[in-house]
Structure 1
Amino acid sequence: MVFVLDTNKRPLAPCHEAVARKLLKQGKAAIYKRFPFTIILKKAVDASETKTEYRLKVDYGSRHTGLAIVRGKEVLWLAQLDHRTDIKERLDKRRAFRRSRRNRKMRYRKARFLNRKRKEGWLPSSLASRVQNIQTWVNRLKKVCPIEHVSYESAKFDTQLMRNPEISGVEYQQGTLQGYEVREYLLEKFGRKCCYCGKEHVPLEVEHIIPKSRGGTDRVDNLCLACHDCNQKKGNQTAEEFGYPHIQKQVKEPLKDVAIVNTTRWKVYEVLKQSGLVVECGTGARTKMNRIRLGLPKTYYFDACCVGESTPNHLHFKTKEVLFIKAKGRGSRSRTNLDKYGFPRGYLARQKFFFGFQTGDMVKAAVPKGKYKGVWFGEVACRKSGSFDIKGRDGKRIAQGINYKYIRLIQRLDGYTYRKEGMKLA
């Protein structure tokens, strides 16, 4: 199905791709946007004739979010939105570079960690990014489809029950460290000796089984006791890499993704309410029940079709493709490339556009001669000289040194990358 706008950019009922092809061929419409594919008519149409109820369904997850547009029993559009997972790592890296630079240049600078004030409802950048991704796509889809309702899966996870399926009653208030300090708990757990070399009667240090730099946490089941020599020798290795797999097995699977959803689920709900749509909330259990009843496989976009009480007894798929949307950002404010020590190794151009293009734009290059003769589709990497590179889906260069005169713009960089795949029902 293809989204349709009239000449005043008001959303109309989506049409079949054959109808859209006919309108484009007859010159009655033009391509408005490639992703999601939208055409715009060259004349005004009475939009009040659209009486069918269009519903956007959202299955929110920490890494991926499923999106579906449903009209009654018909599924018109499916998508999977992949959130960014590199934000915290990039912020940590930037902070380390800045700290190193300040120590080199301003050795006796006064500490400034107490003069920051966070607004009420503040979220870390890595979490706010997920909320903003959903907000962006709800607003974009409202502009190309006459959506009036939204169904949202507001899932809540019981982290203690996930760790201990038999927990009940007052045990919820009695955590692992009830009656202990962390160090006393570890001393008793590991028999007051180094868990690696077995030394006793030596100073012991609290050590991370999976280092924090490798994704480990400060949770007590990721902590152990080690003597100073073993702690230094282990360095950035995990316990398994250090030669102690039996200690590694004591670490339970981290629940970072669960914590992300529990932290942001009501923020996403507020964003949906602010969009002006009628919001219906559903639980994860209802989504699973609907998916099993409809016989659909476990994917994010099929889960989105099954969110909420409004899910019909049968679904008819009017689309055979799924749009995979990956958040990538709009580049970096930094104009200096750094080496691994934080020292400058090169500088980027101060301008953004080169010959009408910017790095990240989706383009079509028709090269008439030379090594890269042919037609190339992908993202453009710009240079001042006007000799551009074309990158494929995997980010690798598929054509280099293409003159800007042979390149035609398909869609401007909007902070996301796109790819289409066929829908898999089995």
Structure 2
Amino acid sequence: MSNFALIVDTNRRPLNPIHPAQARLLLKQRKASILRRFPFTIILKTASNAQTQPLEIKIDPGSKVTGLVLVTNSKVIWAAELTHRGAQIKAALLSRRQLRRNRRSRKTRYRKARFLNRTRPNGWLAPSLKHRVQTTLTWVNRLRRFAPVTAIAQELVKFDTQLMQDETISGPEYQSGTLAGYEIRSYLLEKFDRKCAYCGVEHVPFEIDHIIPRSKNGSDRPSNLCLSCHDCNQAKSNHPIQEFLADKPDVLKRLLALAKSPLRDAAAVNSTRWALFDALKATDLPITTGTGGRTRWNRFRFQLPKTHWIDAALVGAVETITLLTNRPLSIACNGHGTRQSCRTDRFGFPSRYVPQYKFVKGFQTGDLVKAVVTKGKKVGTYIGRCAVRSSGSFNISTKSGLIQGISHRYCQTVHSKDGYNYSF
């Protein structure tokens, strides 16, 4: 079942979300019109005094994907997964830095030194991390405009990355490992994608195995731990990893590289969790928190699969849960383009210039359009993102491929460009 439809009255007052069949009926009877496609929202043509039920937004923040759900009376009626673009931002900043460093070797005008006037205020976050907080807050505010939200719940999970890298930890509180009191099992599940590191089997009970056995001076550091099914764990026993995987050199190479991979995802979650909490707290809505361990316990208790939006629904104290949707809205952050006055080739030299005006015939690049071509060689119906041209002949990217040379006269805007890409 798809998400419930959000609904507002003619005065933009949020009402209780309704079943998709009810939304179709209201649209068919011309009692409502479509206000937004994503999230799907309809607007009544009359005012309404209907009583609203309280809704709660639940959030499962992640370094790459954040889960968002709307819950009322323990029923999940709307769900989405928000994919961040922190890696793209980091790559863009790296490219800009490399271009600027290249200027230092050129004979250009004198530039005053600026290394003493760049102070960072308290709570400063890198742009790639700040983006995660801002996009999540954007969608929380967007849902508040179209739904009667009265509370927020956020998962606050913590990975102690400093102790994860320190092999000199001692003391009774650390006898069970370097992450005692933290979510080491959850960390390994995320790191190894919930698969056995040796055979790749899924959906079985996993055990934590030492890559270098403790009998051969192997440590309890997370870089020496991996996920293993029971059979592989018993077969490996205390044999060296090179001997156990002698006939699987590709698996051995991948495992050793993955075991020593940096903890960037855990660091991203740690860096942004309190910044997101403070941003949500500024909305003046009651906010509750839950641990990652409790979310995982709830998931096992209700026998639900591991997805970001289901984890969001299981944040905090959950007595019962009913999923009235199984098709979450997939939201990918694309950004609003760049401010470059010209495009460059791979050497950094100008290759083409950007038009002065973004809009052509009422359309701009990135709009989701529907084109119904009635004559010519390209008769048909095409739905996708358009790339505008000053001539009025657009290109449309559809699921089946790129369609070039579609006149603006055949195009109709379905959803204006807003920096996100949507799918189910």
Asked whether the two chains share a fold, i.e. TM above 0.5, the reply is yes
Q: Secondary structure at the match of 1:56?
A: strand
Cα gap change, 1:116 to 1:397, in 2 (>3 Å): farther
Tell me, in whole angstroms, the C-alpha distance in 1 between the residues paired with 2:257 and 2:414: 51
Cα gap change, 1:251 to 1:39, in 2 (>3 Å): closer
Aligned to 2:240: none
Q: Alpha-carbon deviation of 1:104?
A: 2.3
Q: For each residue in 1:139-189, what CA deviation from the matched residue of structure 2 results, as whole angstroms up to 9, or x when unmatched?
A: 0000111010111001111225656899542998xxxxxxxxxxxxxxxxx
Aligned to 2:319: 312
Q: Is residue 272 from structure 1 mapped to residue 280 from structure 2 by the alignment?
A: yes
Q: Is residue 61 from structure 1 mapped to residue 36 from structure 2 by the alignment?
A: no
Aligned to 1:408: 412
Q: Alpha-carbon deviation of 1:114?
A: 2.1
Letter in 2 for 1:54: L
Equivalent position to 1:383, from 385, 389, 399: 389
Q: Secondary structure at the match of 2:7?
A: strand
Cα gap change, 1:6 to 1:105, in 2 (>3 Å): farther
Tell me, in whole angstroms, the C-alpha distance in 2 between the residues paired with 1:7 and 1:352: 32
- Root-mean-square deviation (CA, aligned residues, Å) is 2.6
Q: For each residue in 1:224-281, what CA deviation from the matched residue of structure 2 results, as whole angstroms up to 9, or x when unmatched?
A: xxxxxxxxxxxxxxxxxxxxx79x7597121000001111100000111111211010
Letter in 2 for 1:90: A
Letter in 1 for 2:71: V
Q: Is residue 287 from structure 1 mapped to residue 295 from structure 2 by the alignment?
A: yes
Q: For each residue in 1:330-351, what CA deviation from the matched residue of structure 2 results, as whole angstroms up to 9, or x when unmatched?
A: 0100121111111111111011
Q: For each residue in 1:350-397, what CA deviation from the matched residue of structure 2 results, as whole angstroms up to 9, or x when unmatched?
A: 11111101110111011113343211111110111101001135xx85
Tell me, in whole angstroms, the C-alpha distance in 2 between the residues paired with 1:56 and 1:299: 17
Q: Secondary structure at the match of 2:412?
A: strand
Q: Alpha-carbon deviation of 1:316?
A: 1.9
Letter in 2 for 1:83: H
Equivalent position to 1:42, from 37, 40, 45: 45
| Structure 1 segment 90-169 matched on structure 2, within 5 A | 90-101=92-103, 103-106=105-108, 108-159=110-161, 162=164, 167-169=169-171
Query: Does the CA-based 8 Å contact 1:72-1:312 persist in structure 2?
Result: no
Tell me, in whole angstroms, the C-alpha distance in 1 between the residues paired with 2:360 and 2:258: 55
User: Which stretch of structure 1 is more off in the superposition, 104-113 or 83-92?
Assistant: 104-113
Q: Secondary structure at the match of 2:328?
A: strand
> Which ranges of structure 1 fall in alignment gaps of 5 or more residues?
173-220, 222-244, 421-426
Q: For each residue in 1:54-90, what CA deviation from the matched residue of structure 2 results, as whole angstroms up to 9, or x when unmatched?
A: 1110000000001111111211011100000210110
TM-score (norm 1): 0.76
Cα gap change, 1:397 to 1:358, in 2 (>3 Å): farther
TM-score (norm 2): 0.76
Letter in 1 for 2:43: I
Tell me, in whole angstroms, the C-alpha distance in 2 between the residues paired with 1:168 and 1:147: 47
Q: Secondary structure at the match of 1:262?
A: helix
Query: Does the CA-based 8 Å contact 1:389-1:397 persist in structure 2?
Result: no
Tell me, in whole angstroms, the C-alpha distance in 2 between the residues paired with 1:250 and 1:76: 38
Tell me, in whole angstroms, the C-alpha distance in 1 between the residues paired with 2:279 and 2:357: 34
Q: Is residue 11 from structure 1 mapped to residue 8 from structure 2 by the alignment?
A: no
Q: Is residue 374 from structure 1 mapped to residue 374 from structure 2 by the alignment?
A: no
Aligned to 1:20: 23
Aligned to 1:351: 357
Tell me, in whole angstroms, the C-alpha distance in 1 between the residues paired with 2:161 and 2:120: 27
Cα gap change, 1:163 to 1:296, in 2 (>3 Å): farther
Cα gap change, 1:171 to 1:69, in 2 (>3 Å): closer
Tell me, in whole angstroms, the C-alpha distance in 2 between the residues paired with 1:15 and 1:342: 52
Query: Does the CA-based 8 Å contact 1:135-1:272 persist in structure 2?
Result: yes
Letter in 2 for 1:96: Q
Tell me, in whole angstroms, the C-alpha distance in 2 between the residues paired with 1:163 and 1:114: 32
Tell me, in whole angstroms, the C-alpha distance in 1 between the residues paired with 2:112 and 2:340: 25
Letter in 2 for 1:4: I
Q: Alpha-carbon deviation of 1:105?
A: 4.4
Q: Alpha-carbon deviation of 1:308?
A: 0.7
Dislocated runs of 4+, deviation >6 Å: none
Q: Alpha-carbon deviation of 1:124?
A: 1.0
Q: Percent identity?
A: 49
Tell me, in whole angstroms, the C-alpha distance in 1 between the residues paired with 2:144 and 2:319: 22
Q: For each residue in 1:404-425, what CA deviation from the matched residue of structure 2 results, as whole angstroms up to 9, or x when unmatched?
A: 01000011111110001xxxxx
Q: For each residue in 1:262-316, what CA deviation from the matched residue of structure 2 results, as whole angstroms up to 9, or x when unmatched?
A: 111000001111112110100000000111111110110110110011x222x22
Q: Secondary structure at the match of 1:104?
A: coil
> Which ranges of structure 2 fall in alignment gaps of 5 or more residues?
175-222, 224-252
